[in-house]
Amino acid sequence: MTAIVRVCDKEPRSFCVQFPFTLSMPFILRLFSYFSIMSDIELIDACRKLIEQKFHLPGNGSWKQRDFQYLSDLIMDRTGARISLSTLKRIWKETENHLPQVYTLNALVQVLGFNSWNDFKKQQSPVVPATPPDSQIKNEQSNASKTSLKKHWLIFSIILVLAILATAWLISSGKKINPDDVIFKSRKNMAAGVPNTVVFEYDISKTGVDSALIQQSWDERFRARVSRNNHWQTFIYYYPGFHVAKLIIDKKVIKTEKVNISTNGWEALVDGDVAPKTPYYLPKQQIISEGRLYVSKQTLLKNEIPVIDKEYQVNFFKVGNLPPINSNNFIFSTRIKNSLAEGAFVCQNAQVNLICENGLISIPFCNPGCTSNIHLHVSDVLKNGKNFDLSAFGTDLSDWRKITIQCINKNMTIFIDDKPVYHLAYSKDLGPIAGFHFSFLGCGAVDEIHLTDDRKLTYEESF
């Protein structure tokens, strides 16, 4: 339904709002968002204070780097959302009226126990300033102030009318959408390698809705609104791995599409503080030397990567072209090293990841003094060093360490130098193992890899 809205006040110089619009939920939500930005800014301030109180963090903008790292890890552990340190710093240190993305707002309040940002807003007591009677208004109050107040009430009236229309729209749009009426498929621009553009073809014309969302992976930050009048949407995937894209209508996932971003052999990526938006990619001929995966700090500088006085992570990926190895029953072993003498940072963090078609096995290692800051993620099991004892993964990585992961019917044991150090069980089936990802804080190294499943299919590599 399309209409023209024109609303004016009665001042000699009238203030008018006139706009054509199509009655739809996206339009109404955008208008509400525009007019409520100030209250949202105030709510963000309240959210910051609640987080500081609940987790005993410093107030008055006096946070240190470790405080931001702690909160980022805490959010990851409790919500599964990855919020970067730079995003948290903007939220805690910016003074301009800037709203973070909904994904970020949801994560901030979920760590406080709320379901979503909207849930948090609903449960806060609204404070509506009372308009003083005319007899109490000071004579020196300017006419501009009076006009400004009337404008705000005018805008409030518009929002109230639109709220009523929105309710009617919701009642009339309770129709269920048949997934068979939706087309959602993809193709990659390159068979393998990163970065890689993926083209999504979609058709929502039979659903009766004007638009939908396409989300490129688990991360809600990377979404695009698409129109029923169009049929194409593209995304760039910067990291290898198995991703699940989603087509979403009215907050419901209607269809999913698996996107496998494989590699041509081993790929080395550098990210962290040196690359806040997109990673750096290293030439293949520079990442294997002397029988190991390793790049030195000098190599990074030669590639014009600004690593001086900044934290960075070196990542090695190999995804695809593996035999179908069962992730519920396997033995994986490798040797890793992250020496201070060769470019590691003080905590010597290293993460050994097995990329599976339906999830992830991610095992952390570090200096024994830093286990409070590590995370363990295996299928539906997620543990962090703040709330769980992960001291078993503390080890001196100045020398080579043999790491073994043994899994029997979803019961996993982790070994360091052939000694069992940790056991866990998980329930969600991860599907076949599809690739490897080694991540180091600094310049770590990988030696050999051996992988065997219960059917004795074997993969090995010695570089």
pLDDT confidence band for 9 (50 / 70 / 90): very low
Contact (Cβ atoms closer than 8 angstroms) between residue 123 and residue 114: yes
Mean pLDDT of 250-261: 93
Task: Report d(CA 319, CA 321) in Å as an integer.
Answer: 7
Mean pLDDT of 124-141: 47
pLDDT of residue 5: 47
Task: Give kind and range of the element (H or E) at residue 240.
Answer: none
Cβ neighbourhood burial of 250 (10 Å; 0-12, 13-18, 19+) = middle
pLDDT at 310 over 70: yes
pLDDT of residue 75: 87
Contact (Cβ atoms closer than 8 angstroms) between residue 31 and residue 41: no
Q: Pick the more confident residue, 146 or 214.
A: 214
pLDDT digits (tens, 9 = 90+) for 63-102: 888 788 888 888 887 887 888 888 888 888 765 456 788 8
Phi/psi region, residue 456 (left: phi>0; alpha: psi -120 to 50; beta: rest), is left
Contact (Cβ atoms closer than 8 angstroms) between residue 88 and residue 66: no
Task: Report d(CA 204, CA 228) in Å as an integer.
Answer: 6
DSSP bridge pairs for 249: 252
pLDDT of residue 98: 67
Q: Pick the more confident residue, 167 or 233.
A: 233
pLDDT at 388 over 50: yes
Give the E-state strand segments of 108-209 in sequence order: 183-188, 196-203
Task: Report d(CA 59, CA 67) in Å as an integer.
Answer: 11
Residue 437: both structure tokens together: 């990802």
Which backbone phi and psi does 193 adopt, to 5 degrees?
105, 160
pLDDT confidence band for 240 (50 / 70 / 90): very high
Residue 130: both structure tokens together: 């009372």
Task: Give the CB-side neighbour count of residue 434, counting CA atoms within 13 A.
Answer: 20
Residue 394: both structure tokens together: 């503390």
All domains of the chain, ordered by start, with CATH?
Answer: 2-172 (no CATH), 179-261 (2.60.40.1930), 267-461 (2.60.120.200)
pLDDT confidence band for 34 (50 / 70 / 90): very low
pLDDT at 119 over 70: yes
pLDDT confidence band for 165 (50 / 70 / 90): low
Contact (Cβ atoms closer than 8 angstroms) between residue 216 and residue 198: yes
Return the minimum-mean-pLDDT range out of 163-172, 344-353, 373-382. 163-172
pLDDT confidence band for 231 (50 / 70 / 90): very high
DSSP bridge pairs for 202: 184
pLDDT of residue 259: 94
C-alpha distance from residue 294 to each of 336, 409, 438, 445 (Å):
10, 34, 11, 5
pLDDT at 157 over 90: no
Mean pLDDT of 410-424: 97
pLDDT at 447 over 80: yes
pLDDT of residue 262: 95
pLDDT of residue 10: 45
pLDDT of residue 91: 87
Task: Report d(CA 210, CA 204) in Å as an integer.
Answer: 8
pLDDT digits (tens, 9 = 90+) for 185-197: 999 999 999 999 9
Q: Pick the more confident residue, 295 or 324.
A: 295
Please give the mean pLDDT across all residues of the chain.
83
